Amino acid sequence: MIGVPDEKWGEVAKAIVVLKPGAKTTEGEIIAFVKEHLARFKAPKSVEFWGELPKGGTGKVLKREIRKPYWKGHEKAVH
């Protein structure tokens, strides 16, 4: 999950999901699952499906690269 800009709250959670081959789910199913297992305020407000996540040389997911397109045009990448 990453934080993306939001007019009302400043920043809200967004889930970026890569499904395993052959797996199927929906945005609503993912949000509902998270709300059942975590506090409701921790659930993402939206879900986006990607083919793969950007990774560095060590295999670590580069969250800053995932956040870049959402914060384009903002002074800072955090509210």
DSSP string of 10-48, one letter each residue: EEEEEEEE-PPTT----HHHHHHHHHHHS-GGGS-SEEE
Number of alpha carbons in the 13 Å side-chain half-sphere of residue 59: 0
pLDDT at 9: 87
Question: Hey, what are 16's tokens?
Answer: 């970026």
DSSP state of 64: H
Single-letter residue type at 3 = G
Residue 15 has pLDDT above 80, yes or no: yes
pLDDT at 76: 66
pLDDT interval class at 74 (50, 70, 90): confident
Fold of 2-71: GMP Synthetase; Chain A, domain 3 (3.30.300)
Q: What are phi and psi of 15, to 5 degrees?
A: -95, 130
pLDDT at 29: 97
Average pLDDT estimate for 45-65: 95
